Amino acid sequence: MADYQIRQASLQDIDAICLVEKSAFPPHRQASSETLVNRMKLFPEGFYVILYKDKIVGFSTALLTDDLRSLEALNPPDNQLHQPQGNTYYLRSVGIMSEHQRKGFGKALIEKQLENARGLNKKRFCFTASEEVEAFYTHLGFKKLTNYESFHGSIQAVWEMIFI
């Protein structure tokens, strides 16, 4: 992968982030601009963009929460799910422009989020992802906990990494 830069996102990035969202996800899974702005305001320290040739080609968002012991814990809106003192770092979203996928940008963003979680002394890092990316996350060292049918009708898996 060529030169890239990862930095904390800002509200000035929101239009470019929305373009990534539209490129990376099917319409029924896309977050609205309002949702993305809300996530940025809730936990700006967990919202990153990745730039390649000075253009935003991807982003990742995270929230802090308490242990996600059940799938029902994933149902509240972001402002209820986010618990600033929570012990679990919840990777909410990773999106890469379709033409820049499979170039290592997603992995770089996840590694940045892992670094942030460790720096905040969180004991767990978890997220949900669709079945088609199972090999990718297994390769990164994550453990799949369970599958469930998401609110948008696709089969998702809950993944985690425990920090010791």
- Give 109's contacts (C-beta < 8 A, 6+ positions apart): 6, 48, 50, 58, 59, 60, 94, 96
pLDDT of residue 164: 47
Lowest-confidence region among 22-26, 84-88, 146-150: 146-150
Structure-model confidence comparison of residues 128 and 63, the more confident one? 63
Contact assessment for residue 109 and residue 121, using Cβ atoms and an 8 Å cutoff: no
Contact assessment for residue 78 and residue 46, using Cβ atoms and an 8 Å cutoff: no
- Span 97-123, pLDDT tens digits: 999 999 999 999 999 999 999 999 998
Q: What average pLDDT does this structure show over 77-96?
A: 90
Contact assessment for residue 90 and residue 81, using Cβ atoms and an 8 Å cutoff: yes
Q: Quick check: 157 pLDDT over 90?
A: no
- Map residue 146 onto helix, strand or coil: strand
The CA distances from residue 99 to 6, 8, 110, in Å, are 18, 22, 19
Q: Which amino acid is at 32?
A: S
Structure-model confidence comparison of residues 116 and 28, the more confident one? 116
- Span 43-75, pLDDT tens digits: 999 999 999 999 999 999 999 988 665 555 666
DSSP of 58-92, one letter per residue? Answer: EEEEEEEES---SGGGG-S-HHHH--TT-SEEEEE
Contact assessment for residue 61 and residue 46, using Cβ atoms and an 8 Å cutoff: yes
Ordered structural domains, the chain, with CATH:
4-162 (3.40.630.30)
Q: Quick check: 15 pLDDT over 50?
A: yes
pLDDT of residue 55: 97
Q: Quick check: 76 pLDDT over 90?
A: no
Q: What average pLDDT does this structure show over 31-53?
A: 97
pLDDT of residue 47: 98
Q: Quick check: 156 pLDDT over 90?
A: no
The pTM of the full predicted model, rounded to 2 decimals, is 0.88
- Give 41's contacts (C-beta < 8 A, 6+ positions apart): none
**What's the chain's average pLDDT?**
87
